[in-house]
């Protein structure tokens, strides 16, 4: 348990700003193949951001929330999980489901809200879900995914499952009652949960220093009887290392951990937001020099694992895959009205069968 408040304020790093390993830093236990997989996932996230913004500006999708500049926080956290663990994301963590193997065409289908979407077009864009990758959709009410993560973790503890639930939240969400409720119950029940704050400095238009007087957000963990760890969120190796420690601790029965990943939201809160209206864009310049993708690429190049030719091949490969996925997803039909009553119950009661028959009769008369 974190009893020394200073510990919650120390920033954990592996790489310097140029992507070189810091002299005393401990590298995480990652094979070269796994590091390259994480880099490809980060590059894919950035390519998807670019394509999604283009689709939104053309009116082909309605809404988009960018993760530009936060790729290391997302992929480093998701990589620390095992396939059977559960993810309860906020707005910007959907790169994790792609890292876990969710198909690109279904990913775009969700943005179009058509029949290929696993949720049959019932959720607004950016509310991804996928049972095949153990990801639960968020519902836009700020911070409510954290009590849900506690519930998932508590259920797994009761059943004796050696699984972990990971819940995400932004810096602004730490001022919500659900944040306090979730951490309090998690600490009392010692559930196998990991809470990840993506502190990207902005709660929509409110800077973090105007919504919390804490010296850090990680320090809030002390009040709930769990460790709090503050990490350079633009350093994917540091993120993976520290989140993996928290995941392993939770899986072993050691209880929950709160991690604050310090990063920066390079774009707007969403595609409907213009950050130049409320912040000085010069504030982004130091963070651009800490770009998580460029920083990790520099490290890989320094290790002899990456070069310009591989980068060009990856760019071509991902551009082709994204274009094919968009084309295939956009051509799918809208969900049929007969799906309206699907997924209401695990086993349909007789009354639902009657309603389904009435719906079929009504559709037949149109």
pLDDT for residue 5: 38
Reported as a single tens digit per residue, the pLDDT across 292-346 is: 999 999 999 999 999 999 999 999 999 999 999 999 999 999 998 888 889 888 8
d(CA 237, CA 260): 15
Reported as a single tens digit per residue, the pLDDT across 189-199 is: 999 999 999 99
Reported as a single tens digit per residue, the pLDDT across 77-135 is: 999 999 999 999 999 999 999 999 999 999 999 999 999 999 999 998 999 999 999 99
* pLDDT tier for residue 9 given thresholds of 50, 70 and 90: low
5-335 maps to which CATH number?
3.40.50.970
d(CA 261, CA 274): 24
* pLDDT tier for residue 268 given thresholds of 50, 70 and 90: confident
pLDDT for residue 258: 98
Averaged pLDDT for residues 141-154? 96
pLDDT beyond 50 at 7: no
Reported as a single tens digit per residue, the pLDDT across 209-251 is: 998 999 999 999 999 999 999 999 999 999 999 999 999 999 9
Q: Give the domain ranges of the chain.
A: 5-335, 337-366
Q: Taking the model in full, what pTM does it have? A: 0.93
d(CA 60, CA 153): 38
pLDDT for residue 1: 33
Partners of 170 in beta bridges: 198
Q: Which residues are catalytic?
A: 265, 269, 278
Give the CA angle between residues 346, 99, 323 to the nearest 5°: 95
């Amino acid at each position: 348990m974190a009893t020394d408040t200073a510990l919650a304020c120390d920033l954990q790093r592996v790489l310097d700003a140029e992507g070189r390993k810091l002299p005393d830093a401990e590298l995480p236990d990652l094979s070269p193949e796994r590091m390259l997989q994480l880099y490809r996932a980060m590059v894919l996230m950035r390519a998807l951001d670019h394509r999604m913004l283009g689709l939104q500006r053309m009116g082909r999708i309605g809404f988009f929330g960018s993760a530009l500049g936060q790729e290391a926080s997302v992929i480093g956290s998701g990589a620390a999980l095992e396939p059977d663990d559960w993810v309860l994301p906020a707005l910007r963590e959907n790169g994790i489901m792609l890292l876990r193997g969710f198909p690109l065409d279904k990913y775009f289908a969700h943005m179009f809200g058509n029949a290929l979407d696993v949720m049959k077009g019932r959720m607004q864009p950016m509310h991804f879900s996928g049972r095949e990758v153990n990801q639960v959709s968020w519902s836009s009410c700020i911070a409510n995914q954290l009590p849900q993560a506690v519930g998932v973790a508590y259920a797994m503890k009761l059943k004796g499952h050696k699984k972990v639930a990971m819940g995400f939240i932004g810096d602004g969400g730490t001022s919500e009652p659900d944040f306090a409720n979730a951490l309090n119950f998690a600490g009392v029940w010692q559930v196998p949960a990991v809470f990840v704050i993506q502190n990207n400095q902005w709660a929509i238009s409110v800077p973090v220093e105007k919504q919390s007087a804490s010296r850090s957000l990680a320090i809030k963990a002390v009040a709930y009887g769990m460790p709090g760890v503050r990490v350079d969120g633009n350093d994917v190796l540091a993120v993976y290392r520290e989140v993996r420690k928290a995941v392993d601790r939770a899986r072993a029965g050691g209880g929950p951990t709160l991690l604050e990943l310090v990063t920066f939201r390079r774009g707007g809160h969403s595609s409907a937001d213009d950050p130049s209206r409320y912040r000085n864009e010069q504030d982004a310049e130091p963070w651009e020099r800490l770009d998580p993708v460029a920083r990790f690429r520099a490290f890989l190049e320094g290790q002899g694992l990456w070069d310009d030719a591989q980068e060009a091949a990856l760019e071509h490969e991902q551009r082709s895959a994204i274009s094919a996925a968009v084309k295939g997803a956009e051509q799918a039909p809208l969900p049929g009205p007969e799906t309206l009553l699907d997924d209401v119950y695990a086993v349909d009661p007789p009354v639902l069968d009657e309603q389904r028959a009435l719906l079929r009769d009504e559709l037949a008369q149109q």
